[in-house]
Structure formats: C-alpha cells, structure tokens
C-alpha cells in the first residue's frame, strides 16, 4: 500500500473513488443484507485509510465519501420506508487508550476548557445488534423503524410489538413525544436454541436455514414482512439514546438514560458515569474481562459526554456526533490444531484453501473451519496440517489464523496444488497475482454453471430463454456435461423436456428456435462467451480485427508459447525492454495493433489452449456452430479518427456496447483521459475523468448527444 505522503493527487483521487465504492458495498452487505463478507477490523482499516487520504487531500473529498453516509439505503425491502425526524447517526471509533485520551483532549479544545475542568462521560457496552428507533407519543408506542441510511429506515412497528423488552406504553409521566433509540439483539443462548430449532424443523437438514451469528439472527428476525415470524424469535432490546423529543426529563446523558429505564425500557446494566479518562478505561477493562461471560455479543464500549448542553455545543460532523466515540475491543483469540487443509474451487476457478480445525470456542462461537485465503497466506503463516495455531474472530465475525505456534517444528512445508482438485486441469497464478486459478474453465464442474451462464448471457451469445434456472436444471439432468456444444444438442431431449414442470410446447419451441438462431454467431461474442481470463468483449473484438478467423486462435496460442519459451529475458536486458519486445512479438503473431493486447492476454490464451480438454471443448463447439469471418464495418461520422472516452453511468447501453459503437464509427475508444483525447461522453456520476477533460479543455457531451452522432453516421 502506497504511503499517503507518496500519493500523487491523481492517485489519491482514484483511491478515494475505489474506497468509497468498497465501503458502500460492505455497508450494504452489513446493514441492508445482514451478510458481511469482511471482518469489522478489515472494514475499519478501509475507513481509516479513507480518512487519512481525505485529511491529506481535503479538496478531493467526494460527495459519496463514507464520512457523509450512515448505514445503507433501504432498497428492495418488503417493508415500508420511514423517514426519521432526527437523523440516526453513526459513531467514530477509538482503538487504543491513546485514541480515547485524544478524544477527551479534542472535546476540551473545542469547548475551550481548562486542564483542571472535569469532563464527565458515560460508558456503556456497545451491543452488536440492529439499530432501532421507537417513537412514543403520549407514552404509547406508535412507530418503530430500523436505521437504514440514517435518514430513511424500514417500518418494523408490527414486529417490535412482539418483543417483550419493548413496552407498548411507558410507565410514569413521559413527554408527549419521545423517540427511544437502541439495539435489537438476540442473546447467545437464544441464538443457539433458535438454530437448533430451525435444524430440527427442516425437512432436509442439509438445507436447513442456519444463522451465522446472533447479530444476523436478530436482523433477519426483525426485518420480516410477516410479524408472526418475528414473534417466534426470542428478540430483546437495550436502549442507548434518543431521537426527536418534545422535552427532556434531565440535563445529563446519565440521568436521561435512567429516566428511560424508569419508564420500563431496558438500558445496559453496565452503564456508568465517570469523571476521568482513567476511570473510563478502567470500566472498559472490566467490561472486556466480563465479555466472554455475557449472554449477548458486544464489540466495544461507548463513551458519551454527560452534560447535554456540552453535547449541543459540540454538535456533529458529517455522520457522527463530536460528543461520543466507540472504543472497540481487539478481536478475541483461542488456540487449536489445524487438522487439514482443503482446497475449494470457486465458480471463477479460484482455488481457496480452507483450514479444518479441532473445534474451539472463540468469543462464544464454536469455530471448526477457517479460510487461509490463498497460497501466499499459507506461506506467510508457514502452516501445515498438525500445526498448533492461534485463531481470532476478526471483528467477532470471520475467523482467521493469526499465528502458527509450531512453525519451527521439523516437518515438510505444505505444497499448494498445481492442478485443480475438481477437474485435474493446471492451476496457475498469473504474474503479479496471488490467486491460483483452475484453467479448466467450462470442463470444470466447479465452474461449469457460472461459465455456461456467461456463455449464453446478453454480452456473449445472448440466447433468449436460457437463463440461470434452465442451465441449473439441464446440468442436473446431465444434458450439458460436455460444455457449451451440448446447448446446440438440447433438441434431442425435446420429449423429456416437454414432460417437465414449467415446460410447455410453446416455451420449448421458443427455446430451440433461439438456440438455432445462434448457429452462426458473431465471432467476437463467441470468443467472449468462452470466459477466457482477460478476454473481455472489447479484447475479443480487438483480437479478431487482426485474425479475422476465430479458428486460427489455437495455432496462434501455440506460436506465442513457442516464442516465449525460445526467447526468455536476455542477460543484461532490462525488464522494460523485455516486456516491450515481448509485446511487439505477441502483437505480430496475433496480427493486432490494439493497446489492450499484451502479455496478460497472451498468457491467458496459451493457458487455455494448452489444456487438451479445452482444445477438445473448442473443437466440439466448432462442430456445432459456424462463426463467420470477423469483419469490422465502419461508418463515416463526425468522430471518425477521433479518440473517445466514456465515463459515468451509461443509461441506454453498456460500456462495451458504447465502445463498439465508437469503433463502428471509425473512432478509438480509450479508457482514460489524456491530451490525445478528442471527446468525452459523460453519464451521471462522472467523476475524475470529467474533471480532467474540463482541465484539458476537451469537448464533453452527454449520452443523448452521442446517440445523435450515431444516428447521423452513414
């Protein structure tokens, strides 16, 4: 990772764009879909990197900066949307005692307080649950909503009425309007019992619904369209604050929380008021010590300035209050034995090593499997079956190996496989990459579904009526065992297909007609459909512009391999000169001039055609289809001879289709803006490329204007 001091402005802008997309993606998985794919620690690392770059390049802060967003937008939810009267904010994080001390110092500086002024704060455990806001009017519960993106959440009123901890009516003399905010959660014991019940009730135990952790169970149980499902799940609630209120019962955080407790709403039994950072940290240490014994998951301690008038003066930054911070716990750890290393092959061919462990409890969860990520990670840890390892639940979600306690034992190292365990094809890692991938492609059962789905997709052969469901069905029946050529032989199964659910005579005939219409497919679409790594839709066209005949590819791949084997890097030859020489040779063999054709594409082609079963698949496919010679027909237009860049979101066509249009008009479609760019076509959300074009004085048009240019071409 590049040090921030070494980043150029362009690099910083690009990384901020990448981080904004990454963090938004993980926010959606965590908050909207309850299915995180990275640990809290990894997520926090992304946020810290983003914050550091924004601090160094404040003029580059984006409109979609993670620091301006809370949670995730409510999108395809069966529940009604609810606008929050007062935004539900997030919290900034502290990871050390020094961070907490700096937080207290910032408060002092902001409020201009002397060193001897007492800054009292509350401290309470941070529950790992689902944020929820309860609106009471005249003491009666009238609405409950999830946080959503902080401004708009989901209406879960009917569901929370089944949570025993949440009173339908507050005790005592509550204000006319009072929104109580807190966390809906599931106790560890209840979580274990729920998973056991779901398993017992399932007709097929292997397909039983099982929740990964109590947080997911709570979120999935609360966000139900059918409130009776929520009623059957043991959910609980703890309050930690408030939203819109008509009046406050006290002038300190601690006293208001005690008033909420007095109205019959549970608050944390660990809530405490402290007059110094030392006292806060002592309470943090005590909560951390008791963490494993607690019947609900927590991931830190939250500190809040006690005086409400000081909270009001401190106010908020983009998505978090200045008067509160979450002091996160380090991940919990335990020791166990690595019993075996299994290799799983994903749908894209990636070989992922999975460690099988002697089951061990970490943070209240039994862990028996752990991802080892890739070949390099195994080498870094030096792990082998039989090693004693330290396991950590990073962010209390994803288990990982953090230390090998027996790496110095005199035993042979683990040898990562160089062939796919599923199909036996070679498994290789491309230069500069850590992932090892199976080269079997369409003949590998682990990849077959995804590869066939891609083969018939809109950008490839575009066979209407042959969707994911049909492909899965035909694979299960054994009708597509030989790969894509079998698609063109499906007609022999017509009688069997007519007898299956959902297949009537008209739908069957329509499917076969759509398949027959692709007997002479566009050669570039056919090549793209094979799913050869690095050969996308544009690269496929570039390759065939030179070759013309797709049937020449195997011999050209063999020529490239022979050249590379006979012409290694010469003694004294610089890396730059060697790469340039190699690229020139590859382009000469492939008879192409496009910039996108280089060593990576050449290596992917040679890897593919080097495998005998891929050559068999290729020949089998060409026995069923007859792609015509690839001829690029260009039309005369006002952009002929120009270099065009597309940026932003295109609304009427894909990026590949836009580039194909540009080429058909005699223009070159480039991926980046430079002084050589003649025209930029910008859609909604265009960012750095649009700014570059403006700075260079390059003409910019929108998608509608581009459509007029295409229509006017002759």
pLDDT digits (tens, 9 = 90+) for 189-238: 899 899 888 888 877 766 677 887 788 889 888 988 888 888 989 999 99
pLDDT for res 302: 97
Residue 76 confidence (pLDDT) above 70: no
Long-range own/partner contacts, residues 256-259 (CB < 8 A, 24 or more apart): 256/308, 257/122
Do 540 and 561 lie in one domain? The reply is yes
Do 666 and 616 lie in one domain? The reply is no
Position 63 in a domain: yes
On whether the CB atoms of residues 364 and 213 are closer than 8 A, the answer is no
Which pLDDT band holds residue 51 (cuts at 50, 70, 90)? Answer: confident
The CATH number of whichever domain residue 361 belongs to comes to 2.40.50.140
pLDDT for res 657: 74
Q: Tokens in use for 560?
A: 């490239």
Position 475 in a domain: no
Residue 339 confidence (pLDDT) above 90: yes
Position 679 in a domain: yes
Q: What is the pLDDT of residues 224-237, one digit of tens each?
A: 888 888 898 999 99
What average pLDDT score do residues 425-435 get?
82
SS (H, E, C) 96-147: CHHHHHHHHHHHHHHHCCCCCCCCCEEEEEEECCEEEEEEEECCEEEEEEEC
Which pLDDT band holds residue 635 (cuts at 50, 70, 90)? Answer: confident
The CATH number of whichever domain residue 193 belongs to comes to 3.30.470.30
Do 140 and 59 lie in one domain? The reply is no
Which pLDDT band holds residue 473 (cuts at 50, 70, 90)? Answer: very high
Tell me the percentage of the chain whose pLDDT exceeds 70: 92
Query: Helix or strand or coil: residue 434?
Result: coil
Do 260 and 362 lie in one domain? The reply is no
Structural domains in the chain (count)? 5
Do 268 and 139 lie in one domain? The reply is yes
Q: Mark which of 455, 473, 489 sits at the end of a domain.
A: 455
Q: Tokens in use for 411?
A: 């035993």
pLDDT for res 26: 76
- Say what the pTM is: 0.49
Do 103 and 199 lie in one domain? The reply is yes
Q: What is the pLDDT of residues 697-713, one digit of tens each?
A: 899 998 889 988 988 88
Position 227 in a domain: yes
Do 411 and 292 lie in one domain? The reply is no
> Cα separation of 711 and 438, whole Å?
44
Beta strands in 21-64 (DSSP E): none
> Cα separation of 286 and 141, whole Å?
35
Residue 121 confidence (pLDDT) above 90: yes
pLDDT for res 348: 75
pLDDT for res 17: 82
Position 471 in a domain: no
Do 446 and 574 lie in one domain? The reply is no
The CATH number of whichever domain residue 32 belongs to comes to 1.10.287.610
SS (H, E, C) 603-652: HHHHHHHHCHHHHHHHHHHHCCCCCCCCCCCCCCCCCCCCEEEEECCCCC
Residue 353 confidence (pLDDT) above 80: yes
Residue 542 confidence (pLDDT) above 90: no
pLDDT for res 41: 63
Q: Mark which of 622, 655, 677 sits at the end of a domain.
A: 622
Do 135 and 23 lie in one domain? The reply is no
Position 484 in a domain: no
Do 285 and 354 lie in one domain? The reply is no
Rounded mean pLDDT of the chain? 87
> Cα separation of 272 and 285, whole Å?
13
Q: What is the pLDDT of residues 24-40, one digit of tens each?
A: 777 666 655 555 666 66
Residue 148 confidence (pLDDT) above 90: no
> Cα separation of 692 and 670, whole Å?
14
Active-site residues, by number, are 126
Position 517 in a domain: no
Cα→Cα distances 140→129, 169, 178, 184, 238, Å? 24, 4, 10, 19, 18
> Cα separation of 251 and 306, whole Å?
9
Do 342 and 320 lie in one domain? The reply is no
Which pLDDT band holds residue 397 (cuts at 50, 70, 90)? Answer: low
> Cα separation of 194 and 186, whole Å?
10
What average pLDDT score do residues 78-102 get?
90
Residue 496 confidence (pLDDT) above 50: yes
Q: Mark which of 328, 356, 390 sits at the end of a domain.
A: 328
Q: What is the pLDDT of residues 251-282, one digit of tens each?
A: 999 999 999 999 999 999 999 999 999 999 99
What average pLDDT score do residues 132-136 get?
96
Position 482 in a domain: no
Q: What is the pLDDT of residues 561-592, one digit of tens each?
A: 999 889 888 888 888 888 888 888 888 888 88
More confident of the two residues 508 and 149: 508
More confident of the two residues 74 and 318: 318
On whether the CB atoms of residues 183 and 238 are closer than 8 A, the answer is yes
Residue 365 confidence (pLDDT) above 80: no
Tell me the percentage of the chain whose pLDDT exceeds 90: 44
Which pLDDT band holds residue 613 (cuts at 50, 70, 90)? Answer: confident
Which pLDDT band holds residue 385 (cuts at 50, 70, 90)? Answer: very high
pLDDT for res 380: 92
> Cα separation of 475 and 466, whole Å?
12
Laid out side by side, the sheet with 679-682 consists of 668-670, 643-647, 679-682, 699-701
With residue 273 as reference, give the H or E element that holds it.
strand 272-274
What average pLDDT score do residues 518-538 get?
89
pLDDT for res 548: 87
Do 171 and 249 lie in one domain? The reply is yes
Residue 667 lies in domain? 643-712
The CATH number of whichever domain residue 648 belongs to comes to 3.40.50.10190
């Amino acid at each position: 990772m590049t040090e921030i001091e070494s980043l150029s402005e362009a690099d910083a802008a690009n990384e901020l764009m990448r981080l904004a997309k990454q963090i938004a993606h993980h926010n959606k998985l965590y908050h909207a879909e309850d299915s995180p794919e990275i640990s809290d620690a990894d997520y926090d690392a992304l946020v810290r990197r983003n914050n550091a770059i924004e601090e160094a390049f404040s003029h580059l802060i984006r409109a979609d900066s993670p620091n301006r967003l809370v949670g995730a937008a409510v999108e395809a939810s069966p529940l009604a949307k609810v606008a929050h009267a007062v935004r539900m904010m997030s919290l900034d994080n502290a990871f050390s005692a020094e961070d907490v001390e700096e937080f207290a110092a910032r408060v002092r500086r902001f409020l201009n307080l002397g060193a001897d002024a007492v800054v009292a704060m509350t401290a309470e455990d941070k529950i790992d649950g689902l944020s929820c806001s309860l609106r009471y009017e005249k003491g009666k519960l009238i609405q409950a909503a999830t946080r959503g993106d902080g401004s708009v959440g989901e209406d879960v009123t009917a569901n929370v009425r089944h949570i025993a901890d949440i009173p339908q009516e507050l005790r005592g003399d509550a204000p006319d309007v009072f929104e109580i905010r807190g966390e809906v959660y599931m106790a560890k014991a209840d979580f274990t019992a729920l998973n056991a019940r779901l398993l017992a009730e399932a007709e097929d135990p292997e397909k039983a619904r099982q929740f990964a952790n109590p947080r997911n169970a709570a979120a999935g149980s609360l966000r139900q369209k059918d409130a009776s499902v929520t009623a059957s799940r043991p959910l609980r609630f703890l309050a930690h604050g408030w939203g819109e209120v008509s009046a406050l019962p006290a002038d300190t955080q601690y006293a208001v929380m005690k008033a909420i407790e007095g109205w019959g709403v549970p608050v944390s039994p660990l809530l405490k008021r402290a007059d110094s950072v030392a006292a806060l940290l002592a309470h943090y240490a005590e909560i951390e010590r008791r963490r494993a014994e607690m019947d609900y998951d927590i991931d830190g301690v939250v500190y809040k300035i006690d005086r409400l008038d000081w909270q009001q003066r401190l106010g908020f930054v983009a998505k978090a209050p200045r008067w509160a911070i979450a002091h996160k716990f380090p991940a919990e750890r335990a020791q166990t034995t690595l019993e075996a290393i299994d290799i799983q092959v994903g749908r894209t061919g990636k070989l992922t090593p999975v460690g099988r462990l002697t089951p061990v409890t970490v943070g209240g969860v039994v862990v028996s499997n752990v991802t080892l990520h890739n070949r390099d990670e195994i080498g870094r840890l030096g792990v082998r079956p039989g090693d004693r390892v330290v396991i950590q639940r990073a962010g209390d979600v994803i288990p990982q190996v953090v230390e090998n306690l027996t790496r110095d034992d005199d035993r042979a190292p683990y040898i990562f496989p160089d062939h796919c365990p599923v199909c036996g094809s070679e498994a290789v890692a491309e230069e500069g990459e850590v992932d090892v991938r199976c080269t079997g492609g369409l003949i590998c059962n682990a990849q077959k579904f995804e590869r066939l789905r891609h083969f018939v997709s809109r950008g490839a052969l575009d066979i209407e009526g042959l969707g994911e469901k049909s492909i899965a069905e035909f694979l299960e029946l054994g009708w597509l065992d030989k790969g894509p050529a079998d698609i063109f032989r499906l007609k022999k199964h017509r009688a069997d297909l007519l007898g299956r659910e959902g297949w009537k005579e008209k739908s069957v005939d329509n499917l076969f007609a759509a398949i027959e219409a692709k007997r002479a497919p566009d050669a570039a679409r056919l090549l793209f459909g094979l799913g050869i790594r690095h050969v996308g839709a544009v690269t496929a066209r570039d390759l065939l512009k030179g070759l013309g005949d797709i049937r020449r590819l195997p011999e050209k791949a063999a020529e490239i391999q022979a050249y590379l084997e006979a012409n290694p890097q010469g003694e004294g030859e610089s890396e730059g000169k060697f790469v340039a020489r190699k690229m020139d040779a590859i382009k000469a063999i492939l008879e192409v001039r496009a910039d996108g054709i280089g060593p990576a594409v050449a290596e992917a082609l040679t890897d593919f055609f080097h495998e005998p079963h891929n050559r068999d698949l290729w020949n089998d496919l060409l026995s069923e289809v007859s792609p015509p010679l690839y001829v690029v027909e260009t039309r005369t237009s006002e952009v002929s001879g120009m270099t065009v860049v597309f940026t932003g979101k295109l609304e009427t066509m894909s990026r590949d289709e836009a580039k194909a249009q540009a080429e058909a008009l005699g223009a070159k479609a480039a991926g980046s803006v430079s002084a050589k760019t003649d025209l930029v076509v910008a859609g909604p959300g265009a960012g750095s490329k649009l700014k570059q074009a403006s700075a260079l004085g390059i003409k910019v048009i929108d998608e509608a204007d581009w459509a007029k240019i295409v229509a006017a071409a002759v």
